[in-house]
Amino acid sequence: MIRFEHVTKIYKRNKVALKDINLTFDHTGMVFIVGESGSGKTTLLNLLGLLDQNTQGDIFFDSINFSKMRNSQKDRFRNQHIGIVFQDLNLIDELTIKENILLPAYLQSKTISNEEISNMMSSLNLHESLDDYPSNLSGGERQRIAITRSLTKETSIVIADEPTGSLDEMNALKVMSLLKTISSNRLVVVVTHQMSLAKQYGDRIISLEKGKVVDDTKVGKDNQKTIELNAIDIPRKYHLPFSISFKFARKWFTYQFGRMVFSLLTFFLTLTALLVALTINQFDSMDAMKNGLKQEGITYLKVQKTPVPHQSLSDSMFSYDEIDMLHTYFDESEYIETRYSQGISQTIRINGGSGSVENYTSITEEQIDLFRFELYGALPDDTSLETNVVITNRIAYQLNWLTEETYHDALSFQSIMDNHLLTVNFIQGNDTYKYDFTIKGILDTKYEFPDPLIDNSTYNFKFEHDLDYGLHSTLFFGQAVTDIILSIDKDHIGSIEPDKIVNNIYTLTRDNGYERALEFKQHFNPDDIQVISRLDYSLHLINEAKKTLIQVSLFLGVLFLVTAVVTFIGFIHNMIVNKNNSIRIMRSLGARYKDMNVIFLIQGVFIALTSTIVSTILAYITGIWINNGIAKNMYVLIPLVNPIIWLPIVIFAVTLLVAYLITSIELKHTFNKHKVIG
C-alpha cells in the first residue's frame, strides 16, 4: 500500500505544484489521474516513481518512507518495484528493438528469451524484427515497444504518462486492455486526458486541479485484491553489467562519429602541437648522436686534447697515464693511437700533393675489420725494420696517384703498389733525411667525396670535418718502425715531454663507444679534451633548430589551448545533453548515477583513445615533415623529432582524466536537474 500524507511539492520561485495531498493506493488495480495541464499530474507521477523529492509530507510504501530514502536507495527500489511508460520519451535510438526491450532485464540481472519477447510483442500487434532500430518505427510502434519493455520488469507498480497519446484507436484499446490485465496483480497508475478511457478501464479516477485533489472516485467493479508481496523492501545493490555498459558506450560513441571528430578538431590540433613540443623538448643529444653515428655508418670518432693558441706540442698530447686510463674504457683493439712527427708532416707537400700528413701509427688486421676499413695488399711486419708502409687511398689521392673516379678502384691500388715509392722525411737535429718506403698496402678508409652539385655550407662542412677527424691522412708502419720514429722525435723535438706519447686517439662507436669516450673525457678536466665526429656541427644545428621549433609548437599549442578547452568542454556538455533522453529513460528503468557514470567513463576512454591516436598520428606526420625539412635544407640526418612511447600514454591519461571530470560534473547536473516524466 502506498500512502501520501500531507505531501506538498514547491518548485523554484514558490511555484506550488502539489499542495497537502493525502492519497492511498492499494497494491493492485488500475488508477487513472486526470486533470488540466498544470494541475500537478506529472509531478504526482514523478513523486510516485521516486523521480522527484517532495518538499513537505511523507510518502510510504507499506512501512518504507520514500521521503527518508537516499537517492541510491530510491534508484534500487525503482529498479526492482517501479515500471514507467512514457508518452513520447520511450526508446533509445542507438539500441536495437531487442536491446531496448531487454534494458530492464539487464538492470535486474534477468534472462529473457527471444520467444518471450516475441510473445509480448504479438500481444500488442507488433511483428518487427528484433534487430531493427527504433528510427524505422512509427510513433505508435515505438510506444508499444516501450510498453513491451515495461512488461519485462514484472514490477509492483506501473506508472504510465499518456501511454495512448500517439496510438490509433485500435492499438490504444489493445494497450489499455493489456494494462488492465496486468493490474490484477500490480498497481497501475495512468495519467490521461481521455476521460472515456478512464471510465472504461479504470478502477479509480483521481481528479487534480491546481495541485489539489478535487475528486477521488471508484468506478466499475471492485478489482482490488489482497496479494502476497514478499519483496517490498529496499533491494540489495546492483549494477549494470560491464558488457552492457560497454555496448552502450560503444554505440553512443560511434553514433555520428564523424561529427565528433570534426567537433574536436581544434582539440586534436592542440594535442598535436603539444606532443610535438614535448617530443622536441625531450630530444636527447646523447641518443641523437649515437643514433646518428649508426645511421650514417660512422664507425669511429676522434678524441684529442683541446687546441689552445701558442701551446706547446706536449700540451696537445696524451700521457702514458691517460692512455692507461683509456684501457678501463676500451679494449686495445677498439682504439688506434696516432703520433705526431714533424718530418712526416712535410712528406706530402714535398712529394707534390696538396695536403699534409702529420700522424703515423701501426694497425692490426683486427682493427681494420673493426673500423670497417678495407686493406688491399698487406700490412708491414711488426717486428721488421724494412721500409714498408701502408698508405690510405686519401694520401694516394693527395699525391695525384688517384682521381675521384679511381678512388676505390682495386686495379689502381695495385698499380700504385707496383710503380710508386713513398718518400718520407725524418728530422734529426738540423738535418732532414729522406727514406723511400715500399708501399706494401693501400687502406681504403671509405671516405666519400661530397656531391659537387650541392652548394650548401653545412653539407660541405660535414665532409671537411670528416677529413679533419678521420684516419684518412695517417701513415701505417710496422710496430718496430713506429717505435724507432717515436724515439727519433722524442730525442730531437724538445717540446715533447718524456711521459707524453699519443697525439690523437680514434675510438670505435660500437657498443656505446661515443658514451664511453665522453666518460673518459669526464675523468679528466672536461675542458682539456674533445670528443669529435663528423656529426658535431649537425648536432649543433639540430639543437639550434630545437629552440625555435619548441617555441613555435608551444605558441601554436597555447594559441589553440583556450579554444580547445572550450571546444572540449562544449563537446562533453553537448554529448550529455544529446543523451539526455537516453539518460532519463535509463534512470526511469532504475539505472543509478554510478551506472551512467560507468557508461560515460568508458566513453571517456574512447574519446581519450581517439584523441591520443589522432594527435599521435598528426604529431608523427609533423615529425617526419620536420625531420625531412631539416635533412633537405641542412643535410642533417639526425632526426630532431623522435617518437617517445610514454608521451602518448601521458596524453591519454590526462585526456581521460579531464574527460571524466567534466563528464561527471555534467552528468551529475543532468541527472539531478531533469525529471524523467514531463
Do 364 and 432 belong together in one domain?
yes
Domain end, chosen from 477, 509, 531, is at 531
Do 509 and 569 belong together in one domain?
no
Do 392 and 455 belong together in one domain?
yes
> Partners of 508 in the beta sheet?
300
At 9, phi and psi to the nearest 5?
-130, 120
Residue at 322 is within a domain:
yes
Residue at 549 is within a domain:
yes
At 82, phi and psi to the nearest 5?
-130, 130
Q: Domain containing 194: what range? A: 2-238
| Residue entry with cell 603539444 | 274
C-alpha cell read off for 443: 687502406
Do 379 and 518 belong together in one domain?
yes
Residue at 291 is within a domain:
no
Half-sphere exposure of 163 (CA within 13 A, CB side): 32
User: Whole-angstrom Cα distance, residue 365 to residue 673?
Assistant: 84
Residue at 244 is within a domain:
no
> Distance between alpha carbon 1 and the CA centroid of its chain, in Å?
56
Do 588 and 497 belong together in one domain?
no
Residue at 289 is within a domain:
no
DSSP letter (8 states) at residue 229: -
CB 395 within 8 A of CB 475: yes
Query: With a cut of 70, which residues of the chain have pLDDT below it?
Result: 87-89, 220-238, 308-311, 346, 348-356, 428-429, 489-497, 634, 672-678
**pLDDT at residue number 231:** 45
Write the CB contacts of 417 (distance below 8 Å, at least 6 apart in sequence).
Answer: 376, 377, 439, 440, 441, 442
**pLDDT at residue number 310:** 64
**pLDDT at residue number 268:** 87
User: Whole-angstrom Cα distance, residue 275 to residue 651?
Assistant: 8
User: Whole-angstrom Cα distance, residue 602 to residue 606?
Assistant: 6
Do 601 and 669 belong together in one domain?
yes
Write the CB contacts of 335 (distance below 8 Å, at least 6 apart in sequence).
Answer: 326, 505, 506, 507, 508
CB 344 within 8 A of CB 357: yes
End-to-end CA distance of the chain: 25
Q: Does the pTM exceed 0.85?
A: no
CB 152 within 8 A of CB 104: yes
Do 624 and 669 belong together in one domain?
yes
Which CATH number do you get for residue 136? 3.40.50.300
Q: Using CA atoms of 8, 12, 17, 18 in order, give the dihedral in degrees to the nearest 10.
A: 0
- 46, 426, 480, 482 from 487: Cα distances, Å: 107, 12, 11, 9
Do 277 and 345 belong together in one domain?
no
Write the CB contacts of 593 (distance below 8 Å, at least 6 apart in sequence).
Answer: 71, 72, 75, 667, 668, 671
Do 549 and 608 belong together in one domain?
yes
C-alpha cell read off for 143: 510506444
User: Whole-angstrom Cα distance, residue 516 to residue 495?
Assistant: 30
What does 651-677 look like in DSSP terms, one character per residue? HHHHHHHHHHHHHHHHHHHHHHHS-S-
| Residue 21 one-letter amino acid | I
**pLDDT at residue number 408:** 95
Residue at 435 is within a domain:
yes
CB 275 within 8 A of CB 615: yes
Residue at 570 is within a domain:
yes
Nearest CA among 260, 82, 262 for reference residue 154:
82
Pairing of strands 187-191, 157-161: parallel
Do 559 and 666 belong together in one domain?
yes
Domain end, chosen from 531, 562, 597, is at 531
Write the CB contacts of 613 (distance below 8 Å, at least 6 apart in sequence).
Answer: none
Do 55 and 193 belong together in one domain?
yes
**pLDDT at residue number 444:** 96
Half-sphere exposure of 69 (CA within 13 A, CB side): 26
**pLDDT at residue number 677:** 53
**pLDDT at residue number 226:** 46
Number of domains in the chain: 3
> Is the alpha carbon torsion for 187, 192, 196, 199 positive or negative?
positive
At 295, phi and psi to the nearest 5?
-65, -40
Residue at 447 is within a domain:
yes
Do 261 and 320 belong together in one domain?
no
Angle between helices 97-108 and 71-81 (to 10 degrees): 120
> Which uninterrupted H or E stretch holds 599?
helix 593-634
> Partners of 85 in the beta sheet?
160
Domain end, chosen from 205, 238, 271, is at 238
User: Whole-angstrom Cα distance, residue 444 to residue 471?
Assistant: 10
User: Whole-angstrom Cα distance, residue 468 to residue 480?
Assistant: 27
